[in-house]
Amino acid sequence: MRDLSGNIRNLRDEADGGWIIRNYQIVNQAKMDEMAKKEADRALAAQAPSLAVVSSVAPDERNAKPWKIEELEKRIDSQDAKLDAILAALSPKRKKK
């Protein structure tokens, strides 16, 4: 219950703890602190989208590393050559059996 000025006159939590504020006097300080912390968390959560950090680097620039791609292609080509050599070495043995 609030008065005409918006001040809390009575605040009762039926489910947990009973009276929190009675006749403008805080009766349960722990519960009041808990409610204040929840309210501060809600205010911070409401500001989160506007406070989000945006990267100044474009996504293409951030993910593209041409030298790594070229290096990876060279490694794959060398592995293909090694596999071809292994298969060539194994194939005559299979025909002899």
Whether residue 81 is contained in a domain is answered as yes
With 0-12 / 13-18 / 19 or more C-beta atoms within 10 angstroms meaning exposed / middle / buried, residue 59 is: exposed
> Does 2 map to a domain?
no
pTM, whole model, 2 decimals? 0.45
Residue 5 resides in a domain? no
Q: Does residue 60 lie within any of the structural domains?
A: no
DSSP lists the bridge partners of residue 12 as 19
Query: Looking at residue 90, what is its pLDDT?
Result: 86
Q: Based on the domain organization, do 44 and 71 belong to the same domain?
A: no
pLDDT value at residue 39? 93
Structure tokens at 29: 């300080």
Query: What is the span of the domain harbouring residue 23?
Result: 11-48
The reply to whether 37 falls in a domain is yes
| 44 and 15 in a common domain | yes
Q: Does any domain span residue 53?
A: no
Give the count of domains, the chain.
2
Tokens of 53: 């950090």
Structural domain includes residue 71: yes
Question: Minimal CA–CA distance to 29: which of 43, 15, 4, 11?
Answer: 11
Each of the 97 residues of the chain gets a pLDDT tens digit; together they read 888 888 888 888 888 778 888 888 888 888 889 989 999 999 999 998 888 877 666 666 556 566 677 888 888 988 988 998 888 888 876 554 4
Alpha carbon distance 40, 38 (integer Å):
5
**Same domain, yes or no: 16 and 41:** yes
pLDDT of residue 57: 62
Residue 74 lies in a domain: yes
